[in-house]
Amino acid sequence: MVSSEEKGFISIDPDQNPLKEVHNLLLGGVSPRPIALVSTISEDGNDNLAPFSFFNAFGANPPYVAFSPAYSGKDGSAKDTLLNLEKVPECVVHAVPFDLLDQVLLSSTAYKPEQSEFIKAGLETLDSEVVKPKRVKNSPFHMECQVEQIIPLGGTNGSGNLVLCRVVRFHVAEAVMQEGRINPELLDLIGRNGFNYYTRASGTALFEVDKPTGQGLGIDQLPAHIRDSEILSGNDLGKLGQLETMPDEQGVKEFIGNLKTSGVELKYHNLFLHGLDSVNSNPIQARKDMEIAAKVALSANDPEFAIHALLFLADL
Ligand SMILES: Cc1cc2nc3c(=O)[nH]c(=O)nc-3n(C[C@H](O)[C@H](O)[C@H](O)COP(=O)(O)O)c2cc1C
């Protein structure tokens, strides 16, 4: 069923493996995926609501999102969402926050076309401004969409159907806005992982990273003793590789000299100076301490300290 072509990897040919396994690979490896709660309307006016995690945004000018209702793996039948969109090519795509999870799960169960998942899942409706399908008041983020294309991705059991949507109106709850932006902590979205796993995008799962500016020197430009360090991780080297310039020998000496005279301010300064003091008595441990100080500096977003400390080490 699987062949191991390279040591440490399992290589899988999707054409030679059961649909379920291929589906599970996608769910596990392309994850967490945002969830679109999609509202549509049938030709005769029945409201429909269903979640889709094969979903993302694809452009801003103009704004496009897409999701994919698949044909049933068992009998090849089409989902109500797809059938509705083929007749009325409009929908509203909603974001799913943590406190809507169980109502959204309820809306994903297979109700008959004439049964409204709004009612079944106890979700409140709001009229849309541009399109016919209704909005879910309980979600804090809505996109009214016109469906431009439905692209069949196989046309058989388990195949997806990519629904390409142009967003014609956004609605954002004031409660999730802060300083003119959507605050992810307030939005508290969930994502879909493989099997029964979900991710909650708030609390300790959220973190900020500064975007690299300019062009980094690259890891290949770091001296070998830094690249080959057993203490620094790939992330640590990545942060150092983002630096645009490398301090020269004089700059390194001055930086460390200033550190010695200015006294200890931060824990990693202390660790570095402690290493420096013991470099003659216990050189191996001292170098280790100094590299760890650089690593801690990197995690504290102080790559300048880290690079000076690591370059200073080379001459010890
Ligand atoms: C979190 C979540 C994500 C889902 N993602 C998809 C998806 O991307 N594609 C799909 O075909 N079905 C997906 N489903 C299953 C559909 O929501 C389900 O088949 C639903 O009954 C379809 O409703 P409809 O027949 O009213 O369109 C998902 C279900 C859940 C709970």
The residue contributing the CA closest to ligand 1 atom 18 is 108
Is the CB of 81 inside a 6 Å radius of any atom of ligand 1? yes
The residue contributing the CA closest to ligand 1 atom 13 is 52
Rounded CA-CA distance 4/210 in Å is: 38
Looking at residue 104, its pLDDT comes to 97
pLDDT tens readout for residues 62-100: 999 999 999 999 999 999 999 999 999 999 999 999 999
* pTM of this structure: 0.91
CA nearest neighbour of 166 among 141, 152, 147: 147
Is the CB of 190 inside a 6 Å radius of any atom of ligand 1? no
Rounded CA-CA distance 227/297 in Å is: 17
pLDDT > 70: percent of the chain: 97
Residue 265, pLDDT above cutoff 80: no
Looking at residue 260, its pLDDT comes to 85
Centre of ligand 1 to C-alpha 108, Å, is 6
Residue 184, pLDDT above cutoff 80: yes
- Cα–Cα distances (Å) from 255 to 134, 240, 304, in that order, read 62, 17, 10
The preferred substitution site among 37, 77, 108, 197 for testing ligand 1, maximizing ligand atoms within 8 Å of CB, is 108
Residue 264, pLDDT above cutoff 90: no
Burial of 186-202, coded b for 16+ CB within 10 Å and e otherwise, reads: ebbbbbbbbeeebebbb
Is the CB of 115 inside a 6 Å radius of any atom of ligand 1? no
Domains of the chain: 31-205 (2.30.110.10), 219-314 (no CATH)
Confidence band, pLDDT 50/70/90 cuts, at residue 5: low
Q: How many CB atoms lie within 10 A of CB 48?
A: 26
Centre of ligand 1 to C-alpha 299, Å, is 40
- 3 state DSSP class of 198: strand
Residue 51, pLDDT above cutoff 70: yes
Looking at residue 211, its pLDDT comes to 83
Is the CB of 107 inside a 6 Å radius of any atom of ligand 1? no
- 3 state DSSP class of 40: strand
Higher pLDDT, 119 or 262: 119
Confidence band, pLDDT 50/70/90 cuts, at residue 110: confident
User: Which residues neighbour 92 within 8 Å (Cβ) at sequence distance 6 or greater?
Assistant: 38, 39, 128, 131, 133, 134, 135, 136, 142, 143, 144, 145
The residue contributing the CA closest to ligand 1 atom 14 is 52
Centre of ligand 1 to C-alpha 178, Å, is 32
Residue 3, pLDDT above cutoff 70: no
Looking at residue 112, its pLDDT comes to 87
Confidence band, pLDDT 50/70/90 cuts, at residue 4: low
